[in-house]
Amino acid sequence: MAKNSLASPVDLVVIGGSAGSLDVILRMLPPLSHDLRFPVIIVLHRKSTFDSSLSDLFATRTSLTVKEAEEKEYLRPGVIYLAPADYHLLVEKNLTLSLDYSEKVNYSRPSIDVTFQTAADALEGNLAGILLSGANADGALGLKTIHSAGGITAAQNPGSAEMPYMPNQALALSVVDYILNIDEIAYFVNKLSDSKTKFHSE
């Protein structure tokens, strides 16, 4: 399944993580390029009590705008959107965001699968998905959807993950193009923003 070289850069990057992924994100943010050409959506499993302070915490680590996703807002390049606690976050074809308080998926709300799958559908494959540490199976099917839609997929190296279960689930489905160590994640995202980069699946 050789992936064709990318004529245009991706239009969206979605990142999902659960237990053990907060630190990974905090380490990924500072080296991120200041002029990313696409929006980034981060879906983290977290306790609802954590709430909006998480986007403030992230904002201290990057000069990119970090905000909690609001319903019906348009995705803008160079902005990092965080899924709010206790709502699923869906990407619409008109590149707006919808929130949805339906049943938990994989015991999770927000569910990484829901965001990954709707994003893959909305972007028709013109996106990249990254799955981080976690002790839950959420995200693996979503990564598979991105993969089948022609998107680029990556997972945190299970060896570097505090909870390897989640990336391992994706690897077991054979849908992961790139396996990344923690310090490689920001570099990978920056490269996606560079139109000259050509990505191939291994």
Q: Is 99 in the site for other proteins (CB under 8 A)?
A: yes
DSSP alpha helix (H) spans, the chain: 22-28, 53-59, 112-123, 140-148, 165-172, 185-192
Q: Count residues contacting other proteins (CB under 8 A)?
A: 26
Q: Is 102 in the site for other proteins (CB under 8 A)?
A: yes
- Active-site option among 11, 113, 138, 177: 138
Q: Which residues pair with 153 in a beta bridge?
A: 129
CA dihedral 76, 79, 85, 89 (to 10 degrees): 30
Residue 62 tokens read as 């990057």
* Least distance from other proteins to the Cβ atom of residue 39, Å: 16
Cβ-based neighbour number of residue 1 at 10 Å? 8
Which residue among 45, 88, 108, 147 is the active-site one? 45
10-29 positions binding other proteins, by CB under 8 A: none
CB of 98 to other proteins, least distance (A): 4
18 part of the active site:
yes
Axis crossing angle, helix 165-172 with helix 140-148, rounded to the nearest 10: 40
Given 57, 100, 168, 199, the residue binding other proteins (CB under 8 A): 100
CA distance 26 to 186: 11
Binding mask 72-91 for other proteins (x = CB under 8 A): x-----------x--x--xx
- 126-155 footprint of other proteins as x/- string (CB under 8 A): ---------------x--xx--x-------
Q: Which of 11, 18, 21, 113 is catalytic?
A: 18
